[in-house]
Amino acid sequence: MRILVVEDDALVADAIRRGLESAGHAVDRVDCAEHARTALAAENFDLAIIDIGLPCSNGLSLLRSLRQDGLAVPVLILTARDGLADRVNALDLGADDYMVKPFAMPELVARCRALIRRSRSAASALLTIGALALDLGAHRVEVDGSVVELTRREWAVLECLALNVGRVVAKPKLLQAIVNWDAEIGANAIEVYVSRLRSKLGASVPIRTVRGIGYRLDDGSH
């Protein structure tokens, strides 16, 4: 999944980036509210992590303006330990969750996962689609009960298809699930990952090509 981190403190931002990337997410970071607005208007993110303490305009004003613009992206706010009023304000302004600094990275990663899952109305971290079983928390994939090892990007493509099962996922959306702005990645990368997924997962996990648009994972029931 693709996550935007809005934090001016480079050390904190780098720690968050590393934690989320090792959990398989593509992470981009901006250091002020204005750049965050630009990034969120230009690209699709699955989640934004916004620090309240930002230069110029603070994270709560940013959140308010995003919601006023009708942007529904899940938002997790980072607040200071003594920021009770900030936390209440953040939730009232449309934040989906908050974390108090300093926080433990595994908890941040788990909360991000829960927010993304909730925003897609998947109630549990376990997804079963025909012969395919996905544990979204553990990044574990089984086909017909046998574990299949996937790379980080193969996982990201499969997760995106699985969360949209039965619907066509356009190639640019799949690309966004695996890249961030730093990543050098060719235009045919998605074809490559889908072809590797097909050979690893086998015919009982039908990933259909929808010519000129993208791919669709069928649930096998039709």
Under the rule (CB under 5 A), what is the footprint of Ca ion? 8-9, 51, 53
In this structure, the number of other CB atoms found within 10 A of the CB of residue 118 comes to 13
With beta carbons less than 8 A apart as the criterion, state whether 4 and 30 touch: yes
| Closest separation in Å from C-beta 9 to Ca ion | 5
Which position's Cβ is nearest Ca ion?
Answer: 53
Q: Which is nearer to Ca ion, 10 or 91 (CB)?
A: 10
| Closest separation in Å from C-beta 163 to Ca ion | 31
Q: Which is nearer to Ca ion, 58 or 119 (CB)?
A: 58
Residue 50 gets which letter from DSSP? E
Q: Which is nearer to Ca ion, 6 or 115 (CB)?
A: 6
Question: First vs last Cα of the chain: how many Å apart?
Answer: 28
Distances, alpha carbon 49 to alpha carbons 33, 130, 136, 162, in Å: 12, 34, 20, 24
Q: Which is nearer to Ca ion, 53 or 137 (CB)?
A: 53
Q: Please compute Rg for the chain using Cα positions.
A: 18
| Closest separation in Å from C-beta 172 to Ca ion | 31
| Closest separation in Å from C-beta 129 to Ca ion | 40
